[in-house]
Structure 1
Amino acid sequence: MTPGPTTNAKGDSDLDCEMDLLWQFQASVERALKAGWAEDEVANALLSLALQFKEGLLDEAMIESPPSKTLQ
């Protein structure tokens, strides 16, 4: 994996990150398939992990954001 994100005015940092993670992702899928897991099981597990990661990020953002002021 390459060192963290770089400032690239012309680049897409999400795409750059995706490309950086791709070979590790493919290697993980191959290991799971060689271990005997079915393709659907691997896909479902990866999707679940990704969603849990994203939910964790959203939870952290909710905890860290200041309380909103209510208008009365």
Structure 2
Amino acid sequence: MPVITLKIWLNLFNQVYSPTLFSLIVNGLPDAVKDSGMVISQFADDSGTWLKGSNMLRLQKRAQAGLDSIWKWAIE
């Protein structure tokens, strides 16, 4: 019985459902970092983050705050 369940699960990821499920999961990611000023760019199953500014120390603190927010979002 577990083999059948595993087979169904794998078949879902070979179908059009996979991108839809992924989109539902990562949909809240931009909201998780908006307070840090970090920008999120998403395309298909890739995500990237960046910050702009002239003060390296401030950028480092904002980046760490954004990464902490992503970590918190990921484990919830």
Q: TM range, normalised to the smaller chain?
A: 0.3 to 0.5
Name the one with the larger strand percent.
2
Return the structure number with greater relative CO, CA threshold 8 A, min gap 6: 2
TM-score normalized with structure 2 length = 0.33
Q: Which has the larger radius of gyration?
A: 1
